[in-house]
Amino acid sequence: MSRAGSGPRTRVRTAKGRKIASTRWLERQLNDPYVKRAKAEGYRSRAAYKLIELDEKFAFLKGAKRVVDLGIAPGGWSQVVRKRLPQASVVGIDLLPTDPIDGVAILQMDFMDDAAPDLLKEALGGPADLVLSDMAANTVGHQQTDHLRTMALVEAGLLFATEILRPGGAYVAKVLAGGADHGLVADLKRAFTTVKHAKPPASRKGSSEWYVVAQGFKGSEEQQT
């Protein structure tokens, strides 16, 4: 994958009323090559390149016809899917509003809502080839609590994936530093033939995020009988 070139660094003055942390974040954004590249290539966020880099390594997008995007906002991942798979059916969900994307059905609601899984299945119209999850819980600043809340989303995403994936399908989800815990990894290995962890180059070095890539769904108990 080509890298964006490095030009003169942009410095941001600390404006009146703006916290130092906010100034640092803004400066980092302005100097981030992935942010610049996303703007140049029409992606809504730098996160698009995380999916591109993961797919370059694991090729889970190849041949996918139905894709679910959990935590779709602002839409960068679905943009990648539509660009690489223009004929694919894509359904996304997020509690946050997401601007329309051509060819993508978007549900604005909490994935943890009891009604969400059935609505996603109805919108997709058939078994999925791929379930993507870039969901992360809102942090509260307590590392263990933040980890548990995000892993609960990963587990919920896995349960949903086992209900909607066709045999051979894949589940790709954001986890935190250290990857999925032992119990979750055991569940993933029972359901998929291969389970790998990866940190794509587009993930900032200081970020605690990793991704778990589970491929070769073995099928639900109903599909196996």
- Tell me which residues are annotated as active site: 174
C-beta neighbour count of 107 within 10 angstroms: 20
CA nearest 28: which of 204, 200, 199? 204
DSSP state of 87: T
b/e sequence 22-50, b meaning 16+ C-beta within 10 Å: eeeeebeeebeebbbbbeeeebbbbbbbb
Q: Is 5 annotated as a binding residue?
A: no
Q: Is 146 annotated as a binding residue?
A: no
Q: Is 94 annotated as a binding residue?
A: yes
In the chain, what is the straight-line distance between the N-terminal and C-terminal CA atoms, in Å? 43
**Binding-site positions for S-adenosyl-L-methionine:** 75, 77, 94, 110, 134
**Binding-site positions:** 75, 77, 94, 110, 134
